A and B are shown apart, each in its own frame.
Chain A
Amino acid sequence: MSLSDGKTQLRTEEMILNVGPQHPSTHGVFRLVVKLDGETVVEAEPVIGYLHRGTEKIAEDLQYTQIIPYTDRLDYLAAMLNNYALCHTVEEAMEMEIPEHAEYLRVIIMEMQRIASHMLFIGAYLLDLGAMSPFLYVFISRERIVELFNEISGARLTYNFMRIGGLRFDAPNGWLQKVRDLVPQLRADLKLCQDLITGNEIFLNRVRGLGVYTTEQALAYGMSGINLRSTGFKWDLRKTKPYSIYDKFDFEIPVGQNGDCFDRYYLHMQEMEQSVRIIEQALDDIPDGPFIGKVPKFVRVPAGEYYTGIEGAKGELGFYIVSDGKDKPYRMKIRKPSFVNLQMLPELLKGQNMANVIAILGAIDIVLGEVDA
C-alpha cells in the first residue's frame, strides 16, 4: 500500500510477524510466519515440528501393544479414537474376531471421546474469538466424560485403554448406568452452548463467510472430517466405509452449505448431538460377553501392507502398517487429519487481517500433538 498524491510518496513496508511458537492462540507450539501489510496478511507460512517426537520411527522398535500408549499422545484430546485406529488396523490385518460386547463398549467410548474432543474445540474456538465463559462451561461438560473414562481406564487423558482384540478392562459395575445418566446431562450442556453461542450476533458476524473454500479445493488438499463436510460434501467414514459396528446405528451425517468457519463450528455442535444418539442406541443394545477376544500371546501381523482409516475427531485418522511378519511393524505411517487439514492454511489466510487469522486457524481445529507427531 502506498499513499500518493502524484508527487510525494509515503514509504510503507511489509512487516514480518512471528505468531508463535509462544502465542496464546496457536493451540500449542505452532508457529505462523505472516507477512503483514498493515494488518492484512500478504503471505503466511506455517512452521511446524516443535512437538515432533518421531512416533512413527519409535513405533518401528515397539511391539504393537507397546505402540498403543504412544498413540495416546498424537491427538491427545481424542486418545481413545487414536487407540482404536491402531488396534483396528492391526485387527483388520490379522483378521481377528472382536466380541460383540467389546465392540459396543468401544463405540460408546469412542463417541464419548468424540463429544469430549468437539466440546473442547467449541471452548477453545470461542476463547480464540475472545469469549471466556464457553471455555469453562465446556470444560465442565468434558469433565463429566473424562471422569467416566478415568473410572473405566484409570487415566484422564492418555487412556491406553484399547487393546488389540478388545479392551483392557470390562466396564466396572454401574459404569454403563452412569453413561446412561450422562446422556440427558450432555444434551443439557449442548443446549447451553447453543443458547450462549450459536445465536450471538457478534459471533455470527465474526465467523460467517470467513475462510470459505469449495469442495474441490478441500478434496484437492485431502481434507477430511468436518473441514470437508462443511463444504457440503457428505463424507464420513462411519457411513461411507462403515467400520466396527457403525452400520447398526441410526444417525445422520450433518453437512454444511457454505464451507465457512460458522459451518465448521456448527457441524461440531450437530455432530455431538448425533454422537449422543449413537451412545443412546448402543447403550440399549449392548450384549453381554467377553471384553477381549482370543488374542495370540505375541501379536504378529502377517507380512504385507495394511491401511485402515477411521473417522477421528478431526478427520480421517489412518494407520498404514508395513509388516514383515514380526511382532513389530517394519514401518508405520500415520495419516494425521490435523496435519493434512492444516495444509490449506496459507491459502486461506491470504488477504485476511490479523483477527481473522486466529479465527480461521481455530476453525481448522488442529492439535499440535497430531500435526507434529
Chain B
Amino acid sequence: MWNWATHPVSWLSFLGMLIGTVVILLLTLVVVMYSIYWQRKFIGWIQLRIGPNRVGPFGLLQTAADVFKLLIKEDIIPNKVDRVLFMIAPIIAFVPSFMALSVIPFSRTHVFTANIAVGALFYLALSAITIHGVMIGGWASNNKYALIGSMRSAAQMLSFEIPLGMSIVGVVLMAGSINLNDIIAGQQHSVWYIIPQVLGCIVFLIASTGELNRTPFDLPEAESELVAGYHTEYSGFRFAFFMLTEYVYLFAMAGLFATLFLGGWSGPWLPGWLWFAIKALIYITFQFWVQATMPRMRVDKVMPFAWKVLLPLALFNLVITAVLKAVL
C-alpha cells in the first residue's frame, strides 16, 4: 500500500496515495496556520507588542478564527470581472504550491514523499505555474492595482527563478543528483552543503525571498503603493486561497532550503522529522525577521538586482563548485 513509487499502480496503492495526500494537506494547513501565528507573534515581539492573545490560550487559535471568518464571508465576485478566470485563478495558484510539497522529504522514512529522480527540477517547474494563477487573478479582477501587482509579480518571479535555479545547481553538482533524497544522503556522508556552498546559500536565500514575494521584495502586494496588489478584489475564501498559497510556498521553500543546505531531516540524536521541523522553522523565522526590519526594494531596482547581481553571483558559484569538484 505504501510502496507506490516502486510498484505498479493498484487500487490499494491509490488509496494509499489518497490517504497520504490528505495527511499532507492537513499537516500543511496546520503548519500554515501556525506560521501565520508565529509571524504575528514574532513580529509583534520585535515591535514591542504582544501579538495575538485573545482567541484561545496565548491566541493560539487566532489564525483558525481568521480562516473561519474568511470562509463564512460572502463570496463576492464583482460585476465587471472576468467571471471564470476570476474564480479559477486562486485554484491555479494554490494547486502547484501544494504539489510542490510532494518532493520535499519530511523525514527519514519517505512515506509521503515522492522519490522523484528530478525532485529539485520538479519543484522549480511547479512553482513557476503559480505565477499564472497570480497573473490571471490580477487580469481578471479588472482592477488597475491588481493588474500592476500581477504584472510586477510575473516580472519578478521570472527574474528570480533563474538565480534560484542556478544556486540549486551548485548543490546538485556537489551531490551529483537532482533527487532531493540523494542530496540529503550526500550531506549525511560529508558536511551540510551550507559550508561549501555558502555563496550559493546566500543567493538562494535572496532569490527565494524574491520568489516568495516577501519583504524586501514584496512589490506585487506592496500595500502602501498598490493597496493589496493582485488580490485587491478578492475576498472571502478565494482570498484565503491566495494567502494559503503564499504560506504553503513559504513552508515548501523552507523545506527546500533545509533539504538543500542544512541536510534535511538528517542530524544526530533527534528524530528526523524534528530536525526537519527545526531547520524549516529557522528559515521561516529568518523570513519574518527580515520582514520586520526591511523596507521594500524599489521596483525599478529589483530586476537589475536579480539579473546583474544575483545571476552572476550564482554563475560564479557554479563555476567555482565545478572547478573544485573537478580538482578534488
Binding site for B on A (CB under 8 A): 15, 17, 23-25, 36, 39, 126-133, 136-137, 140, 196, 200, 202-203, 205-206, 353-359
Pick from B144, B219, B223, B294: contact of A24, CB below 8 A: B223
Is the interface on chain B under 10, 10 to 19, 20 to 34, or 35 or more residues? 20 to 34
Indicate if the CB atoms of A203 and B224 lie closer than 8 Å: no
Distance in Å: Cβ of B164 to nearest Cβ of chain A? 19
Within 8 A of A (CB), among B109-126: none
Shortest Cβ distance from A12 into chain B, in angstroms?
13
**Which of B223, B224, B227, B294 is within 8 Å of A202, CB to CB?**
B294
| Cα distance, A25 to B222, chains bound together (Å) | 11
Residue B188, interface by CB 8 Å: no
A200 engages B299 (CB within 8 Å) = no
Identify the stretch in B29-37, B44-52, B240-248 within 8 Å (CB) of chain A at 4 or more residues: B44-52
Looking at A129, A203, A353, A357, which has the most chain B CB atoms within 10 Å of its CB? A129
Residues of A close to B215: CB separation below 8 A: 130-131
When distances are taken between beta carbons in the complex, the residues of chain B under 8 Å from A36 are 144
Find out whether the CB atom of A140 lies under 8 angstroms from the CB atom of B224. Answer: no
Select from chain B the residue with minimum beta-carbon distance to A129: B295
Q: Please, which residues of chain B bring their CB within 8 A of the CB of A129? A: 224, 295-296
| Structural contact, A25 and B224, CB atoms closer than 8 A | yes
Interface centre among B148, B226, B295, B300 (most CB of A within 10 A): B295
Report B182-213 residues with CB < 8 Å from chain A CB. none
Check B225 for interface membership: any CB of A closer than 8 A.
yes
Residues of B within 8 A of A (CB): 43, 46-49, 144-145, 148, 151-152, 215-216, 218-219, 222-227, 291-301
Kindly list the 7 A-B residue pairs having the minimum CB-CB distance in the complex, ordered from nearest: A130-B296, A131-B295, A25-B224, A129-B295, A136-B47, A355-B299, A206-B298
Q: Is the CB of B224 within 8 A of A130?
A: yes
Q: Which residue of A lies closest to B219 (CB)?
A: A355
Give A137 to B144 CA distance when docked, in angstroms: 33
19 further interface pairs, Cβ-Cβ under 8 Å (given A129-B224, A130-B215, A136-B49): A17-B145, A24-B223, A24-B224, A36-B144, A128-B224, A129-B295, A130-B218, A131-B294, A133-B46, A133-B293, A136-B48, A202-B216, A202-B294, A202-B297, A206-B301, A353-B299, A353-B300, A355-B222, A359-B298
Report which residue of A39, A129, A355, A359 has the largest number of chain B beta carbons within 10 angstroms of its beta carbon: A355
Return chain A residues, CB-CB under 8 Å to B225.
25, 354-355, 357-358
Chain A residue with Cβ nearest B296: A130
Q: A24-B224, A355-B219 are in contact. Are A132 and B298 (CB under 8 A)?
A: no
Q: How far is the CA of A17 from the CA of B223 in the complex (A)?
A: 16
Q: How far is the CB of B1 from chain A (nearest CB, A)?
A: 48
CA distance A24 to B225 in the complex (A): 8
| Secondary structure of the A contact surface, majority rule | helix
CA separation between A206 and B218, bound complex, in Å? 14
Contact status of A200 and B295, CB under 8 A, knowing A130-B215, A358-B224: yes
Q: Which of B46, B218, B222 has the most CB of A within 10 A?
A: B222
Give the chain B neighbours of A25 by CB distance below 8 A. 224-225
Instruction: Select the residue from A131, A137, A358 with max chain B CB neighbours within 10 A.
Output: A131
Distance between B60 CB and nearest chain A CB, rounded to angstroms: 23
Partner of A206, one of B49, B223, B296: B296
Chain B residues within 8 Å of A17, by CB: 144-145
Given A130-B218, A136-B48, A203-B295 contact (CB < 8 Å): yes
In the complex formed, the residue of A with least CB distance to B46 is A133
List the A side residues contacting B145 at CB < 8 Å.
17
Residues of A within 8 A of B291 (CB): 132
Check A196/B293 contact, CB under 8 A, given A130-B215, A130-B222.
yes
Residues of A close to B43: CB separation below 8 A: 132-133
Residues on the B chain within 8 Å of A131, using CB: 215, 293-296
- Chain A residues with CB under 8 Å of B298's CB are 205-206, 355-356, 359
* Closest B residue, CB atoms, query A130: B296
Neighbouring B residues of A202 by C-beta, 8 Å: 216, 294-297
- Nearest residue, chain A, Cβ from B218: A130
* Contact present for A133 and B47 (CB under 8 Å): yes
Q: Hey, which chain B residues are within 8 Å of A128, CB to CB?
A: 224
Closest beta carbon of chain A to B121's beta carbon, Å: 31
Task: Tell me the bound Cα distance from A200 to B216 in angstroms.
Answer: 12
Q: Which residues of A contact B216 (CB under 8 A)?
A: 130, 202
A129 to B222, CA, bound (A): 9
Across the interface, name the chain A residue whose C-beta is closest to B216.
A202
In the bound assembly, the distance between CA atoms of A36 and B226 in angstroms comes to: 13
